[in-house]
Amino acid sequence: MARIVRITWDSVQVSKSENYGTFGGEPGKSAEWRLHFVVKIDGEERRCEVWEKDGIRDNNTYRTDRHMDVELDGGLSIEVTGQEIDDFSDSDRIPGLKRNHPPEPGWETGGTAYRKSARNLDFDYAVHYRIQYLSEAPP
């Protein structure tokens, strides 16, 4: 019998939320983001949560408060993809991130915290999340 793990998406730490400015940038001083938090087992999507937030500004951290419980019956990986939503033009793709997670001893004792970041010329952010076992190991 496979064990259950919980992935808790704690926060998004934004260093650069968009390219603002009169020439070649977006108007305004904040952005609207939509991120997709995805959990995969052996490359197949098991769970996806969408987080949307308006008023995203540079150098701020935003609570996401999402969690997903999945049966760990194969290789675990996480992915984050997203868009910066524009009202008057096409939305901009926020750089995605991926990470494979082999089981770790810390998952047994309250979980292990992770930080994974992504950036390009317009965006720079990090996602903070934790992984822990919810079920006991089989005898």
Q: Which two tokens stand for residue 89?
A: 């033009």
Mean pLDDT of 95-111: 94
49 DSSP β-pair partners: 37
- 43 vs 49: CA distance, rounded Å: 17
Number of H helices, E strands in the chain: 0, 8
pLDDT interval class at 1 (50, 70, 90): confident
76 DSSP β-pair partners: 41, 101
pTM assigned to the model: 0.89
- Write down the mean pLDDT value for the chain: 90
109 CB contacts (<8 Å, ≥6 apart)? none
pLDDT interval class at 22 (50, 70, 90): very low
Domains, in order of start, for the chain: 3-133 (2.60.40.150)
Query: What residue spans of the chain are helical by DSSP H?
Result: none
Q: Which long-range contacts (CB under 8 A, 24 or more apart) does 20-28 make?
A: 26/84, 26/86
Half-sphere exposure of 5 (CA within 13 A, CB side): 31
Give the pLDDT confidence score for residue 139 in this predicted structure: 62
Residue 97 pLDDT exceeds 60: yes
- 88 vs 52: CA distance, rounded Å: 18
Q: What is the dihedral of CA 62, 68, 74, 79, to 10 degrees?
A: -30
Mean pLDDT of 54-76: 95
